[in-house]
């Protein structure tokens, strides 16, 4: 679901992406947007049956922006990975020295992470970004969010961004990676690409953008939380 919506892909891949969209839409109901927006992930991981090829966004590698960030930061403190998928970003962040929690709304994804990384120091857990356990709120020195906001419908965008921002401790940082689209265009997802002005919501949530760059068809944001920071 990452870049797979773009031009230049083979007809079978485009057909698979279209099939996935139809599947997701069929699981979404208008009256329960939040529940239906997240309820299709677990069956998808289950249907993949531990084959990464069955998970459109999984490439069994950390996101390059996460690898780069981890290589250039001290790794002191606690980190959390939002919507951790198959765990590659979490492992890179933990290897950099952060005491790392990684959560996903999908039980199957979390069980898969634990199987892939049986000796990991990462605490993999099931949690819903829209119903965060109290002990996760406001305590992380580093929050990593890669392609989860874009996987949720635009109606939920502000709530999703507010929830991601709520994880950051005063003085902490966040790294956000999302498929981008120009302002003024309408996203047709999933994934629902994110525009620069939508990402301004992070500032509204108390974070300051330190760095904002494009990497291919993705936007990468590095943010700092001055909320409550002396």
Q: Site residues (CB under 6 A) for ligand SAM? A: 1, 38, 41, 57-58, 63, 83, 85, 104-106, 109, 128-130, 146-148, 151-152
Select 96 or 129, whichever has its Cβ closest to ligand SAM. Answer: 129
Q: What is the smallest separation between the CB atom of 129 and ligand SAM, expressed in angstroms?
A: 3
Q: What is the smallest separation between the CB atom of 153 and ligand SAM, expressed in angstroms?
A: 11
DSSP 109: H
Rounded to an integer, what distance in angstroms lies between the CA atom of residue 199 and that of residue 219?
A: 10
- The sheet with strand 78-82 has its strands ordered as 123-126, 99-104, 78-82, 140-146, 168-179, 218-225, 207-215
Determine phi and psi for 138, rounding to 5 degrees: 70, 20
Answer yes or no: are the C-beta atoms of 146 and 63 closer than 8 Å: yes
Q: What is the smallest separation between the CB atom of 6 and ligand SAM, expressed in angstroms?
A: 15
Can you say how many angstroms the Cα of residue 111 is from the centroid of all Cα atoms in its chain? 18
| CA torsion, ordered 35, 36, 42, 48, to nearest 10 deg | -170
Select 106 or 195, whichever has its Cβ closest to ligand SAM. Answer: 106
Select 35 or 229, whichever has its Cβ closest to ligand SAM. Answer: 35
Q: What is the smallest separation between the CB atom of 230 and ligand SAM, expressed in angstroms?
A: 31
Phi/psi class of residue 197: alpha, beta or left (left: φ > 0; alpha: ψ in -120 to 50)? alpha
Q: What is the smallest separation between the CB atom of 229 and ligand SAM, expressed in angstroms?
A: 26
Select 86 or 225, whichever has its Cβ closest to ligand SAM. Answer: 86
Select 41 or 202, whichever has its Cβ closest to ligand SAM. Answer: 41
Select 43 or 228, whichever has its Cβ closest to ligand SAM. Answer: 43
Q: Residue 179 pairs with which residues in a beta bridge?
A: 218
Q: What is the smallest separation between the CB atom of 115 and ligand SAM, expressed in angstroms?
A: 15
Return the residue nearest ligand SAM (CB atom): 83
């Amino acid at each position: 679901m990452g870049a797979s919506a773009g031009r230049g892909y083979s007809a079978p891949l485009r057909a698979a992406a279209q099939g996935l969209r139809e599947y997701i839409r069929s699981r979404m109901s208008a009256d329960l947007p939040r529940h239906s927006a997240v309820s299709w992930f677990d069956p998808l991981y289950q249907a993949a049956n531990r084959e990464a090829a069955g998970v459109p966004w999984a490439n069994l590698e950390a996101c390059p922006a996460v690898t780069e960030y981890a290589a250039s930061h001290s790794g002191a403190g606690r980190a959390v990975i939002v919507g951790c998928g198959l765990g590659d970003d979490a492992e890179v962040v933990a290897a950099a020295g952060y005491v790392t929690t990684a959560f996903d709304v999908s039980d199957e994804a979390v069980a898969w992470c634990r199987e892939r990384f049986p000796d990991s120091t990462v605490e993999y857990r099931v949690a819903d970004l829209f119903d965060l356990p109290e002990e996760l709120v406001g305590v992380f020195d580093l929050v990593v969010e890669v392609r989860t906001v874009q996987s949720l419908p635009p109606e939920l965008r502000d709530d999703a961004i507010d929830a991601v921002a709520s994880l950051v401790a005063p003085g902490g940082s966040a790294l956000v990676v999302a498929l981008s689209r120009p302002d003024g265009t309408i996203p047709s997802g999933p994934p629902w690409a994110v525009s620069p002005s939508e990402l301004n919501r992070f500032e509204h949530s108390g974070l300051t953008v330190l760095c904002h760059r494009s990497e291919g068809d993705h936007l990468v944001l590095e943010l700092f939380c001055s909320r409550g920071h002396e």
